């Protein structure tokens, strides 16, 4: 999820201004304000009503009654990021109240409130920034704290509330919200729909869509699913609908079984929105999707089918992970994302047996996580977040790519069964409430002898990665007498990272994978003792561990001549990832790396590995070679790549080869060939050039 930069700029200016007075009333949603409200406001309910006119230019007149319990009179600060003249009136009970406005807040003085139940009624014009209003439809998107742009509310994830929603819309429209429709009355051109009260949900998950939508209905396992869409190609809808219902039903059944908790939200609808901001958004009972992610063309590839299944399973997983149990504050937003993706992989991967999922995991997450984590500017997974306005800053490779690796480690530490039982316990204990990462760590910690607090501190609270080195000694019989794995903190803080990994010792005809549990500074790999002297050692053979794995000289020499001989594709992929990290630590070896890539590429049998190696080539070429070496090397490298384009077996492979060629080409001959391809004077069979590639070449 990405947020426009202008918000961050506006925040900086405005914060500086408000901080001078009361920091809890600074614009955005300051953490101090959230804490104050979290402690004071109980039993929260919203009764919200929006009157949506047919004409987009007309304002949305709205009203709400906010009900809550206070232990004692207390000021009530609502978030509403709109000019004050959009608020027509505020009442507490039936008394009109002079509300104050500061920052993005509407403030009701403590003197107007009382101990016990309070009902605040507000008449206002809804803000439209987060209502995505079009001529004949609109939809809400309130994540992470954008409900306050539309209506006055407590816009923080731990003030869960029950919502009763009423919508007035043109009578030809369809409507969908978190809960089931309770009643509808039509008078003339207008229809009023009242929805049932929701279970407790946070503002960022409250949602509705209204407008001209087609509706498809599917029955699966005794449940009715509804799909709202705006697709005019009826063939396309007909072709995809059953698969989409099946995928939801399968994910739902799997999750009910895994969590031991029945689907918590009653009805199940989803809305396909053209050009939706994300792939999907997990509103309980009403998931929103980007339409093209679900409505596929006939020519959809295996990869697109896998992606669709994953998106659906990811959003469905959120019905438990994120919706039923929600993070207390957005600094833990990564948790729900990683858990949803983790569950999605469990649900979907077995249906795609032709894909090497472990290799896919390695190549999807490790290189991009390392790219950030090796730098001085790396951030930890868990960061402080002083204001929800800054939530956009949290997203990046560490959350998206390092966190999945860390959660997979967590499952390895506990074992699948205990991990699942721990998750069941967690979901049950915090149902319809909130929990932090540390709550989960405590709960899982009770199920393992391992000190999870220490583990979590190293992996989640701190930035960076360990450096791991192997030391082998041999006896007089040339067998391994000791094998030590040493770890060190490259940032010199003395951090030790506990982790599970597999060390691979390789021979001419076979490789052995030895499970190792890394704890202190030095780990003895006792399973390696008495084994014959290996030709090579991969300290992270199966790609489970995380860090910079220093390869010993013998191994580097072996890989330089034989990397393609490593029989297992996953180990080979992991060797390439480690090799690249080693090369970056010793850039003068860039030339050696390119020799190896040029030799091994034509022999690589796994498509995922081919793409990985091809992605390293331009970086090695431009970043690690002196200019004169580049010129000397260019003709041979270009010839290898053009041969690769010609020999590629699939369209995706062909474009991977072509993109690498496009990015390294240097010779006059190569440049003119690339230009002919770009101008379509030269056609390459089976190569489609993406628009972004088109632009790259034009530049």
User: CA 277 → CA 146, 274, 281, 330, 344, distances in Å?
Assistant: 14, 9, 9, 19, 21
Instruction: Report, in Å, the least distance between residue 667 CB and Zn ion.
Output: 46
Of 81 and 345, the one with the shorter C-beta distance to Zn ion is: 345
Instruction: Please choose, out of 43-51, 323-331, 337-345, 631-639, the segment that lies near Zn ion by the rule CB under 5 A.
Output: 337-345
Please, which residues have CB within 8 angstroms of residue 331's CB and are 6 or more apart in sequence?
382, 383, 384, 385, 394
Instruction: Please choose, out of 4-12, 226-234, 334-342, 378-386, the segment that lies near Zn ion by the rule CB under 5 A.
Output: 334-342
Instruction: Report, in Å, the least distance between residue 435 CB and Zn ion.
Output: 17
Angstrom distance (rounded) from CA 25 to CA 451: 40
Which residues sit opposite 434 in a β-bridge? 326
Instruction: Please choose, out of 265-273, 332-340, 488-496, 522-530, the segment that lies near Zn ion by the rule CB under 5 A.
Output: 332-340
Of 47 and 337, the one with the shorter C-beta distance to Zn ion is: 337
Of 546, 542, 571, nearest to 559 by C-alpha is 571
Q: How many residues bind Zn ion (CB under 5 A)?
A: 2
- Host H or E run for residue 133: none
Angstrom distance (rounded) from CA 120 to CA 31: 23
Instruction: Please choose, out of 333-341, 440-448, 477-485, 663-671, the segment that lies near Zn ion by the rule CB under 5 A.
Output: 333-341
Of 165 and 340, the one with the shorter C-beta distance to Zn ion is: 340
DSSP notation for 157-222: TTS-BEEEEEEEEETT-EEEESS-EEEEEEETTEEEEEEPPPPSB-GGG--EEEES-EEEEEEETT
126 binds Zn ion (CB under 5 A): no
Instruction: Report, in Å, the least distance between residue 205 CB and Zn ion.
Output: 12
Instruction: Report, in Å, the least distance between residue 337 CB and Zn ion.
Output: 5
Instruction: Please choose, out of 4-12, 331-339, 525-533, 637-645, the segment that lies near Zn ion by the rule CB under 5 A.
Output: 331-339
Instruction: Report, in Å, the least distance between residue 178 CB and Zn ion.
Output: 17
Angstrom distance (rounded) from CA 137 to CA 134: 5
Of 282 and 604, the one with the shorter C-beta distance to Zn ion is: 282
Of 25 and 343, the one with the shorter C-beta distance to Zn ion is: 343
Instruction: Please choose, out of 26-34, 41-49, 335-343, 636-644, the segment that lies near Zn ion by the rule CB under 5 A.
Output: 335-343
Instruction: Report, in Å, the least distance between residue 215 CB and Zn ion.
Output: 25
Angstrom distance (rounded) from CA 674 to CA 665: 8
Instruction: Report, in Å, the least distance between residue 290 CB and Zn ion.
Output: 13
- Host H or E run for residue 655: helix 651-664
User: CA 527 → CA 484, 535, 658, 685, distances in Å?
Assistant: 11, 17, 44, 51
Instruction: Please choose, out of 124-132, 340-348, 349-357, 677-685, the segment that lies near Zn ion by the rule CB under 5 A.
Output: 340-348
Instruction: Please choose, out of 73-81, 329-337, 520-528, 551-559, the segment that lies near Zn ion by the rule CB under 5 A.
Output: 329-337
Checking phi first, is residue 588 left (phi over 0); if not, alpha (psi -120 to 50) or beta?
alpha
Please, which residues have CB within 8 angstroms of residue 35's CB and are 6 or more apart in sequence?
none
Burial class (CB in 10 A: 0-12, 13-18, 19+), 194: middle
Instruction: Report, in Å, the least distance between residue 314 CB and Zn ion.
Output: 6
Angstrom distance (rounded) from CA 183 to CA 92: 28
Of 108 and 340, the one with the shorter C-beta distance to Zn ion is: 340
Angstrom distance (rounded) from CA 578 to CA 254: 36
Of 404 and 498, the one with the shorter C-beta distance to Zn ion is: 404
Instruction: Report, in Å, the least distance between residue 317 CB and Zn ion.
Output: 8
Of 340 and 363, the one with the shorter C-beta distance to Zn ion is: 340
How much of the chain is helix, strand and coil, in % rounded to 5? Answer: 45, 25, 30
Peptide bond into 464 cis (omega under 30): no
**CB neighbour burial string for 335-355, b if at least 16 within 10 angstroms, e if fewer:** bbbbbbbbbbbbbbbeeeeee
**Residue selected from 294, 340, 391, 518 as contacting Zn ion according to rule CB under 5 A:** 340
Instruction: Report, in Å, the least distance between residue 349 CB and Zn ion.
Output: 17
DSSP notation for 474-529: E-TTSBEEEEEEEEE-TTSS-----EEEEEEEE-SS-EEEEEEEE-SSEEE-GGGT
Of 288 and 546, the one with the shorter C-beta distance to Zn ion is: 288
Which residues sit opposite 467 in a β-bridge? 488, 548
Instruction: Report, in Å, the least distance between residue 333 CB and Zn ion.
Output: 9
Of 399 and 597, the one with the shorter C-beta distance to Zn ion is: 399
Instruction: Report, in Å, the least distance between residue 433 CB and Zn ion.
Output: 20
Of 151 and 329, the one with the shorter C-beta distance to Zn ion is: 329
- Host H or E run for residue 76: strand 76-79
Of 46 and 321, the one with the shorter C-beta distance to Zn ion is: 321
Of 263 and 657, the one with the shorter C-beta distance to Zn ion is: 263
Of 192 and 307, the one with the shorter C-beta distance to Zn ion is: 307
Instruction: Report, in Å, the least distance between residue 366 CB and Zn ion.
Output: 21
Of 278 and 432, the one with the shorter C-beta distance to Zn ion is: 278
In this structure, what are the phi and psi dihedrals at residue 548, rounded to the nearest 5 degrees? -100, 115
- Is 656 strand, coil or helix? helix
Q: Longest Cα pair distance anywhere in the chain, in angstroms?
A: 97
Helix residue ranges per DSSP H, 329-390 = 333-348, 357-373
Instruction: Report, in Å, the least distance between residue 218 CB and Zn ion.
Output: 23
Instruction: Report, in Å, the least distance between residue 52 CB and Zn ion.
Output: 28
Instruction: Please choose, out of 265-273, 300-308, 339-347, 372-380, the segment that lies near Zn ion by the rule CB under 5 A.
Output: 339-347
CA-atom Rg of the chain in angstroms: 29
Instruction: Report, in Å, the least distance between residue 229 CB and Zn ion.
Output: 21
Of 337 and 638, the one with the shorter C-beta distance to Zn ion is: 337
Binding site for Zn ion (CB under 5 A): 337, 340
């Amino acid at each position: 999820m990405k947020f426009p930069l202008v918000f961050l700029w506006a925040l900086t200016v405005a914060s500086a201004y408000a901080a001078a007075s009361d920091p809890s009333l600074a614009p955005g949603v300051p953490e101090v304000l959230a804490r104050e409200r979290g402690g004071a406001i109980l039993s929260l309910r919203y009764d919200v009503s929006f009157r949506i006119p047919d004409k987009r230019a007309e304002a949305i007149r709205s009203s709400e009654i906010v009900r809550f319990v206070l232990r004692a009179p207390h000021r009530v600060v609502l978030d509403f990021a709109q000019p004050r003249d959009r608020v027509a009136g505020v009442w507490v009970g039936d008394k009109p109240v002079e509300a104050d406005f500061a920052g993005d807040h509407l403030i009701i003085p403590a003197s107007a409130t009382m101990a016990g139940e309070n009902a605040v009624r507000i008449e206002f014009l809804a803000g439209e920034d987060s209502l995505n209003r079009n001529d004949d439809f609109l939809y809400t998107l309130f994540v992470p704290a954008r409900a306050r742009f539309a209506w006055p509310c407590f816009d923080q994830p731990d003030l869960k509330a029950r919502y009763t929603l009423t919508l007035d819309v043109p009578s030809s429209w369809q409507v969908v919200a978190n809960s089931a429709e309770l009643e509808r009355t039509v008078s003339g051109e207008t229809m009023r729909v009242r929805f049932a009260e929701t279970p407790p949900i946070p503002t960022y998950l409250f949602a509705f869509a209204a407008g001209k939508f087609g509706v498809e209905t599917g029955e699966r396992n005794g449940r009715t699913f509804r799909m709202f869409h705006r697709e005019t190609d009826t063939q396309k809808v007909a072709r995809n609908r059953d698969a989409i219902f099946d995928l939801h039903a399968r994910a739902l059944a799997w999750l009910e079984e895994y969590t031991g908790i029945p689907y918590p939200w009653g009805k199940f609808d989803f809305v396909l929105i053209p050009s939706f901001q994300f792939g999907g958004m997990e509103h309980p009972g009403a998931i929103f999707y980007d339409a093209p992610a679900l409505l596929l063309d006939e020519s959809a590839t295996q990869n697109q089918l896998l992606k669709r299944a994953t998106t659906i399973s990811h959003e469905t997983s959120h019905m438990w992970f994120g919706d039923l149990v929600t993070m207390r504050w957005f600094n833990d937003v990564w948790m729900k994302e990683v858990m949803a993706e983790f569950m999605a992989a469990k649900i979907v991967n077995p249906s795609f047996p032709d894909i090497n999922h472990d290799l896919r995991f390695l190549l999807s997450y490790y290189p991009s996580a390392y790219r950030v984590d090796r730098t001085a500017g790396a951030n930890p997974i868990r960061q402080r977040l002083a204001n929800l306005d800054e939530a956009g800053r949290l997203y990046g490779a560490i959350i998206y790519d390092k966190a999945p690796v860390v959660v997979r480690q967590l499952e390895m530490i506990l074992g699948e069964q205990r991990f699942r039982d721990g998750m069941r316990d967690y979901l049950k204990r915090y149902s319809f409430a909130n929990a932090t990462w540390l709550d989960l760590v405590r709960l899982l910690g009770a199920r393992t002898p391992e000190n999870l607090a220490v583990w979590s501190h190293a992996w989640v609270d701190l930035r960076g990665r360990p450096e791991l080195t192997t030391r082998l000694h041999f006896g007089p019989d040339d067998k391994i007498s000791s094998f030590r794995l040493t770890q060190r903190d490259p940032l010199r803080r003395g951090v030790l990272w506990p982790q599970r990994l597999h060390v691979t010792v390789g021979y001419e005809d076979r490789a052995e994978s030895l499970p190792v549990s890394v704890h202190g500074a030095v780990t003895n790999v006792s399973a390696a003792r008495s084994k014959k002297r290996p030709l090579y050692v991969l300290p992270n053979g199966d790609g489970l561990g995380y860090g910079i794995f220093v390869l010993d000289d013998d191994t580097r020499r072996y890989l330089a001549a034989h990397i393609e001989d490593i029989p297992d594709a996953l180990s080979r992929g992991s060797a390439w990832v480690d090799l690249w990290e080693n090369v970056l630590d010793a850039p003068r070896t860039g030339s050696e790396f390119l020799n190896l890539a040029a030799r091994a590429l034509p022999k690589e049998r796994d498509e995922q590995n081919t793409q990985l190696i091809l992605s390293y080539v331009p970086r090695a070429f431009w970043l690690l070679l002196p200019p004169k070496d580049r010129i000397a090397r260019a003709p041979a490298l270009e010839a290898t790549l053009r041969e690769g384009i010609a020999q590629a077996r699939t369209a995706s492979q062909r474009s991977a080869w072509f993109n690498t060629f496009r990015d390294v080409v240097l010779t006059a001959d190569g440049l003119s060939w690339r230009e002919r391809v770009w101008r379509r004077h030269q056609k390459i069979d089976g190569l489609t050039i993406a628009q972004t590639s088109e632009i790259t070449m034009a530049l």
